Amino acid sequence: MGLYQKLPADIKEVDIIIAGGGTAGCIVAGRLTEADPGLSILVIEGGQENYDNPKVVTPALYPLNFQPDSETAIFYKSAKSKYIANREYIVPSGGTLGGGSSMNFLMYTRAQRDDYDSWNTPGWTTDELWPYLKKIETYHGPGNPEHHGFSGPIQVSDGPYRGKSIEDDWLRAAEQVGYPEIKDLQSLDTNNGFQRWLKYATPEGKRSDVARGYIHPRLRDGKHPNLHVLVENNVVRVLVDENKRAYGVEFTPNTRFQAQVNGSASHPKQTIRARKLVVVSCGACGTPPVLERSGIGSREILDRAGVPVVQELPGVGSGYQDHLKIPIVFKTSLSQDETADALLSGRLSLEDAIAQEHPHLGWNFADLASKIRPTDAEAVALGPEFQASWERDFKNRPNRPLIVMVVVSGLYGDNASVLPTGQFVSLLPFTAYSYSRGHMHITGPEVGDALDFNTGFFNDKDDIDLKKLIWSYKKGREIMRRTSMYRGEHQPCHPRFPKGSKAALIEEWNQPAEGGPVVDLEYSVEDDAAIEKYIREHVETSWHSLGTAKMAPQDKMGVVDKNLNVYGVRGLKVVDMSIAPENVGANTANTAMMIGEKAADIIAKELGLVLK
């Protein structure tokens, strides 16, 4: 099997090097080696092998991947920012074979038709991308069969367990405030409602990630001897010759997983050559540092970092985007079997859950989510600046959601605050198209040098992203107040409203007498200020980093062309979410998979291969 922690001495040159074994990179490697088993391919991944890791395979354990001691994540620390209460912020990213697909929430969410069309790139319109979206999946859900695939490597299903009581209660309440249940929000053309979400999992309850779908079968079938996967090694830089052609990479063992050599402070570097192509696929946070250490980027940044300029491309590392998220938690009347709180809090131990073959082990606790928009009147109420952005970017584009709202069956966040018998429901609304922008750059030539990272959260003009989350906080609270399970707010995950506020949190909810209607809360200017303070202090990443090596014209800060070639450097492509020129109204895993499939097709055609 061609899986190594140290590259065999006899492998000195391959046809294609893929720097990064994440979501898109694994798909490229799997598809190309399937098309031509004689093609020698090397994937270099900084993280560990993931095949038998229970934190990867077992859906319910995904929260462990985001803990500070996680070995399946890379943690990128952003600079302090006045916009988020002077906090430093940590953005986790996929740090294992399979990347984000091996450690995320498992939420199956596709982008909207307008999203891909907005990329304004030949070959990348929605209609042109449909075949790749179908090719990814084996779909076990509702909707029009024409919109889905049924023989792909990635399983999309309900899994073995759903929290039906929460689903039914929530959907009834959402209908009351104007958001219907939509059977399939992933058709690319449906919007403004809630869906009983599916997950990247087998019907039996195992995570379906790209490593298991595209890589492991070919490493183990004995038919693809030229597929090599090197784990626990970091790519330092791409090697580029005097003719500006990429001819290999420099890499070094990841000291996080491999002991230091002879007591030295760092590992020796190695190089390997690529006869045909180098693909950088390290993600929106990891790809810019690799390019910049290779001498590809802004001259000013490279000069400051002490890296000789090979190709000046000021777009590298600029335009960082994420979906901004805010956690909101409610107390409920639910039983222990209806939420994941027992398992999340440790009241039900993992050992006991495994011994009992507990159905929650195959659950990701996120059975409901939405793509929603405000009414025109609600947009006006958010002020003239918000109204202007609404009319420019949303009003006449009904395909674009303002917010994606996820309903989690349990307490999301610090489980130390869970009451011994508490059962909770959490809302995680995030901005579908953030206006905030940040950057990711190097400060020196080595892997271990500090990164200059700024998420840019809430640095947008007129605080439009903040106002989106203020609206979503109020809207989510109104839906929850209309459910039968609602029993008040969990104070640590809500604003602290001023004394006497009509929107004050309650300790215990009493339903209106005789089934009377729930009346919307009234918020004062002071209440809005309290919500703003809470959001700035608690806003989070959605782990949806993108846009740092855009597919766009060079004069528009583009880094790659429509065929994912890095401008000015032959034999070098970028294949990951960093190439997205505009955001998508969805979790980004599906788009990353689509990019991998599309890139594999582009490369195959250039090599004269036909993909299966």
* Farthest-apart Cα atoms in the chain, separation: 81
> Of 188, 201, 215, whose CA–CA distance to 104 is shortest?
201
The backbone torsions φ and ψ at residue 92, rounded to the nearest 5 degrees and listed phi first, read: -75, 150
* Neighbouring residues of 302: CB distance < 8 A, sequence distance ≥ 6: 292, 295, 308, 309
- Report the Cα 32 to chain-centroid distance in Å: 25
The backbone torsions φ and ψ at residue 304, rounded to the nearest 5 degrees and listed phi first, read: -65, -35
Strand-strand pairing, 311-312 and 296-297: parallel
Q: Residue 205 and residue 5: Cα distance in Å, rounded?
A: 30
Instruction: For residue 490, give Cα distances in angstroms to 426, 469, 508.
Output: 10, 18, 10
* Structure-token match 């294609």, residue found: 16
Q: Which two tokens stand for residue 343?
A: 């398992």
- Helix extents (H) in 88-184: 113-117, 126-136, 164-176
Distinct helix (H) and strand (E) counts, the chain: 16, 25
Instruction: For residue 55, give Cα distances in angstroms to 60, 83, 96, 103.
Output: 8, 34, 11, 8
Q: Residue 263 and residue 245: Cα distance in Å, rounded?
A: 36
Q: Residue 265 and residue 136: Cα distance in Å, rounded?
A: 43
- Report the Cα 550 to chain-centroid distance in Å: 17
Instruction: Let me know if 411 is exposed, middle or buried by CB neighbors in 10 A (0-12, 13-18, 19+).
Output: buried
Q: Which two tokens stand for residue 353?
A: 């859950």
Inter-residue contact 37 to 46 (CB < 8 Å): no
Q: Which two tokens stand for residue 566?
A: 């890095």
Does the annotation count 544 as an active-site position?
A: yes
What is the Cα gyration radius of the chain?
A: 24
- Report the Cα 240 to chain-centroid distance in Å: 31
> Of 495, 48, 58, 32, whose CA–CA distance to 234 is shortest?
48
Q: Residue 584 and residue 404: Cα distance in Å, rounded?
A: 11
The backbone torsions φ and ψ at residue 470, rounded to the nearest 5 degrees and listed phi first, read: -60, -45
* Neighbouring residues of 124: CB distance < 8 A, sequence distance ≥ 6: 116, 551, 562, 598
Check residue 69 and report its DSSP letter.
T
Task: Count the alpha carbons within 13 Å of 591 in the hemisphere toward its beta carbon.
Answer: 30
Cα first-last separation, the chain: 23
Q: Residue 406 and residue 195: Cα distance in Å, rounded?
A: 10
Strand-strand pairing, 403-408 and 486-489: unpaired
Out of 224, 490, 538, 544, pick the active-site residue.
544
* Residues taking part in catalysis: 544
